[in-house]
Structure formats: structure tokens, C-alpha cells
Amino acid sequence: MYTVHLVIAARPNIMKVAPVYHALSCKENFSVTLLHTGQHYDPCLSDQLLAELSLPAPQHNFAVGSGSHAHQTAGVLTAYEDFLQETKPDICIVAGDVNSTLACALAAVKLHIPVAHIESGLRSRDRTMPEEINRILTDQLASILWSPSADADANLRSEGIPPEKISRVGNCMIDSLVHLLPSIRKRAAWKSYAARPQSYSVVTLHRPANVDSPQRLYNIIKGLCSLADETQIIFPVHPRTVESLKRLNYHKLLSSHPSIVLIAPLGYLDFLSLVESAATIITDSGGIQEETSYLGIPCLTLRPNTERPITCTMGTNQLVEPNQLPEIYAQTIATTRSAPPKIPLWDGNAGIRIAQDLQNRLDSGIAI
């Protein structure tokens, strides 16, 4: 029997981990322990997402909570190390690029427990982003690197990762989307906001580079208000963004526009229901770039770079600056929407490939 620790932390991790949990649970020779670090833990939203993805409650929650990067990383590192002193698995699986990802990987390898990384090889080439540091270091620590795309493989090879450690498996977040798409389409969440399909845009913002900079945030708001003269905007506002809007007295700039609807963050199904029927998405999120590419929905990403360039070269994503929003939005709306692009291995079966790859490696001892 192989014992596995499967780590979740922030909400995007849950979507990435769910397909792997279900695929491993179908194998009789795996015992999977689901761990939550509590890095971004809202009981209501977290419990709702676990239920939507048919995941059990985590067996353990370290309840680390928010804090500076150093405090959060250190809190997860010490909490997981203490847990590992009591129970050592055959392998620790981490996902994505949050602080918990790096902290759990570091705690495991220090105790000679191999680490596998879901979503290996993504690179923005921007080391001012904490997530980029987490990605690079976690990939250097991992014994198994499960990548979503060919460009990610190339990144890993260029950093000296032995090819035998890398397995291209596809995109686990797309697995969760594919699995839940029928339920998502039944929600019709747009009805709650007096909207019509294909007649509104959805906005999400949360990255410090966008919401902590007074001038950049003002420029974004200016661009959104200009767009709202042409289309309804539905904006689920992240808690960090709410704080910035209030601190800078920008909140009324948005709330006073009759075509901008500010709402609280939504659950996974309701949010993707909004996205699936939108004309465009304006975001700084990484995962939304992938989901919109799968769905064939135009995505305007308010960032100078992306760790997911395949969403630009093969998907529906464009990188834009705030002052470009009105022009690029107009061009996007004027373009006839084509069938969703097909990105290799983004087919809903990444979790199954990961389970089989892990089975093969543990049975043979390859790269462990």
C-alpha cells in the first residue's frame, strides 16, 4: 500500500488536486490523506468548493491563516514538519505556486520524503512575483514534475531538471472544469444580475501589482468605467481589492457607474457559470486564463507577462495594459468567436494520467 499526502491551500489548489484525489482513490493500492494548510481558508467558501468537487473534508487542517510571505511560509513549514514526524508518507504531492506549495515541499524533502509537483514548469520570467519564486524552488525540490504543456517541459529542461523526472500530463484545473461543466451550465448565474448571455463582461482583480499601486489601480478603474459605457460589467471583488478601493477612496468610482455591478466573491460553480456566458473576461488571474481558453471565451489579462503563454499562443488570452482596454475590447467584440481551441492533453484526463504515472514510478522506483 502506497501512502500519499495530498496538500491543498488556496482555492485554486483544490481544483487542481481534486482530479488527482479521485483518480488515486480508485486505485486499491493507494491510501490518500488530504491535508489543508489553511493558507487561504474561508470555511464557507472552502467547504462549498470541497462539496462541489466531491472531496471529503481534509483529514487535517494546519489553520496557518494569512500573514506576510515569510510568516506564512514558516508557519506551514513548521506545522507540516511536525505532522511528518508523526506520519511519513511514501510521497507528498503539492500543486501550483502558493507559499504552502513551497513550504510543504521543503519540509518533506528535508525529511527525505519525495515530492511530486502538479503544474510544474510554468514560468512568467518575473521574479518580482512571489509565485514565480515558489514555482522555481518547488520544481528544484521535486522528484516528479507533472507539467501541463510542452513549453513547461522546455522550461524545466532549461533549468537542468533531468528529463526522466518530467511527465507531461495535461491540466488538472481543466479536469475539474470538464467534470462540472454540465452543472455549471445549469446554474445560469447571470440571471441574478439582470444580464443577458454574451452581453456582459466579468472582471476579477487581486494581484498586488494591480491593486496595491494607486496609479495602476486608478488606470484600471478608468479603463473599466470606459468599457462600462459599452457593456455591463459584473465584478466579484476580492477582499484584497476591496481594502485597496476603500483605502484609496476609489470604491465610488466603480459603484457610481450604472453598468458596473460589484458583488462579493462567488463559489466555483456560480463564478464559472458567469464566465461561461460572458462576452469577455478581464482578469489578472492565472487559472482563469486557462479556463477561458478551454471554453473559447476572450480573456484580457491585465498583466505584462504570464506564466501560461500557451493561453496566448494557442488559447484566447491577450496581455493588455489598462490604457489598452477600450481599444482591445472593441476589437475583441468585433471578432467573430470561433470554436474553442484544442490545447494538447487539456481534455479532462490529467488526473488519471498522474495516477498512472505515479503508480508506474513507485512500482519501478523511477525518479523517486
The residues annotated with a catalytic role in the active site are 206
Q: If DSSP states are collapsed to H, E and C, what string results for the chain?
A: CEEEEEEECCHHHHHHHHHHHHHHHCCCCEEEEEEECCCCCCHHHHHHHHHHCCCCCCCEECCCCCCCHHHHHHHHHHHHHHHHHHCCCCEEEEECCCHHHHHHHHHHHHCCCCEEEECCCCCCCCCCCHHHHHHHHHHHHCCEEEECCHHHHHHHHHCCCCHHHEEECCCHHHHHHHHHHHHHHHHCHHHHHCCCCCCEEEECCCCHHHHCCHHHHHHHHHHHHHHHCCCEEEEECCHHHHHHHHHCCCHHHHHCCCCEEEECCCCHHHHHHHHHCCCEEEECCCHHHHHHHHHCCCEEECCCCCCCCHHHHCCCEEECCHHHHHHHHHHHHHCCCCCCCCCCCCCCCHHHHHHHHHHHHHHHCCCC
Q: Which residues pair with 206 in a beta bridge?
A: none
Region at 10 (left for phi over 0; alpha for psi -120 to 50; beta for the rest): beta
Q: Which residues pair with 61 in a beta bridge?
A: 36
Cα distance between residue 27 and residue 347, in whole Å: 21
